[in-house]
Structures are given as C-alpha cells and as structure tokens.
Amino acid sequence: MAEGIEIICVGNELLMGKTLNTNAQWLSKRATVFGIAVKRVTVVADEVAEIASVVREALQRKPRFVMTTGGLGPTFDDKTLEGIAKALNRKLVVNEKALRMVKEKYDAYVRTEERLEMTPPRIKMATIPENTVPVANPVGTAPGVKVDLDGTILIALPGVPSEMEAIFEETIASLLKEASGGNVFSEKSIYADDIMESALAPLIDKVMHDNPAVYIKSHPRGQENKPHMEIHFSSTASVAEKLEERLQEAIIQLSSLIERTGGKAFRDDQAIC
C-alpha cells in the first residue's frame, strides 16, 4: 500500500467504554479502500498534554497522514486543537476564515433577522493553531483543520460521526486517493470447516509465501471441537484486473490445500474445490 495513515481518536468517553469507537473503524475502512495502509490507531483522553504527546509521536514516525477525531467543539473538554498547537509549538489564534464559517452556520440556524451572539464558546470553534487551514464542515458547526508538515498532512476532524464522515468525503477523500497513486484495494473471504486453526496456519504461510502480494488472515467463527473459519484475503494493486486474478489464485491454492487435509473450503456456502 501507499504511505500510511495514523488515526488518533480523542475522548474520555471512548476510554471509559461509554461510546463505541465507530470513527476509527469507518476511517480505517475508507483509508484501506483508497490503498492507504492504516499503521496505528490511538485513543487518548481529553487532556492537552496527552493529545500533544501522541501527535508528536505520530509525526515523528512520518506517515503520509495523521488524522484526529473528536475534541473540536465549544465545551471545556474539547481540547484537541490546544493539544495539536502544543505539539507543533504554535499559538492558538482566532482564524478569520474559520470564524466566518462558524458565523455562517449560526446565522443559518436562526430564521429571523436576529443573529446569535458569537459567545466565547462559539469563537472557540474558530480558534485554531496558527498557520493551519480550516476545513468546511458541511453538516455541523465546528470546522476541521488541516496542515502540511514536511510531507505529513495532519487533519483534525470532529468526533460526531456524521460531521466527520461529511468532511472526509467532501475534502479529505481526494487527498488520500491522490496519495495512493491510483491503487485499488480488494478483499474476498472464504470459509473452511473441519480444520483447526493450528492446522490451517502452515497452509496460510505457504500460500502467502507463494503469493507475497496477498495478505491472508484467519478468523475462527466456530468452536474448538467444531472448527469453522472465515479466511480473509486482501491485496492492493494499480490494476484492478490483475488484483482480482491475484486474489483468485491465492484462494484456489489455499482451498486445494485445505481439501487435501480433509477440510472443506466454501465461498457463499458453495464448495470451491
């Protein structure tokens, strides 16, 4: 895959288990589809020092992208941009473009000539690290933030899933697609019965050795005394046709090896061999 991405999810609610981290899953899937390898997902508390620390660590590894989610709102615990500013050793400033974005959103919420006051919590959403760029939020109020740091693009996205997804699709997806160089990702699964994972492991090793561009992972779905495995194949290539052929060759080879051990290989409840 092309140069990777690291995802940093900010929020005490994630660490407490109150909120399921669907943002990490969604972003990981979208990045993978664009041929960008997800190198790391980190969850961190709503603490400036903690956020700054994980951002610095991610930037030191020099991935192509670092994306944060959460902590861009108006409340006291929305501290992501403060943490990013600390990590970059930059000041937080009221960005005029971001302020216009926030004002326009609030003006749109009021259907009279009266305008909502730009209170400090509302101005907070337009207060971003200096020399960074606000990114329009199509469905919410708080803008995202983007900055290019010596080849690593750092992007801060809201934590509300609908807002995060909207900003990603409208602005960020094209950046990932360009960075991938036109790569195409594909995945397929087959299923195997009557073979334990310990017996399956050396067969997968052989197929991956013979097909080095294909990644294969087994997922037990049954019980120890009645094994049922999902076997997931994935690969990335610049030409979709070759990619499909590559996956199919690996699937046929592994299916044949499974059958030779006395197991059964299936795809969509149909035997492959």
Over residues 25-72, the pLDDT tens digits come to: 999 999 999 989 999 999 999 999 999 999 999 999 999 999 999 999
**CA distance linking residue 120 with residue 131, whole number of Å:** 21
Given a contact cutoff of 8 angstroms between Cβ atoms, the answer to whether 6 and 63 are in contact is yes
**CA distance linking residue 186 with residue 54, whole number of Å:** 31
* Section 101-119 average pLDDT: 79
Could you give phi then psi for residue 85, rounded to 5 degrees?
-60, -40
Q: Are strands 228-237 and 2-10 parallel, antiparallel or unpaired?
A: unpaired
Domains along the chain with CATH numbers: 2-179 (3.40.980.10), 184-271 (3.30.70.600)
Q: Answer yes or no: is pLDDT of 271 > 50.
A: no
Q: What is the pLDDT of residue 111?
A: 63
Over residues 149-181, the pLDDT tens digits come to: 989 999 999 999 999 999 999 999 999 999 988
- Mean residue pLDDT of the chain comes to 92
pLDDT band at 113 (very low <50, low <70, confident <90, very high): low
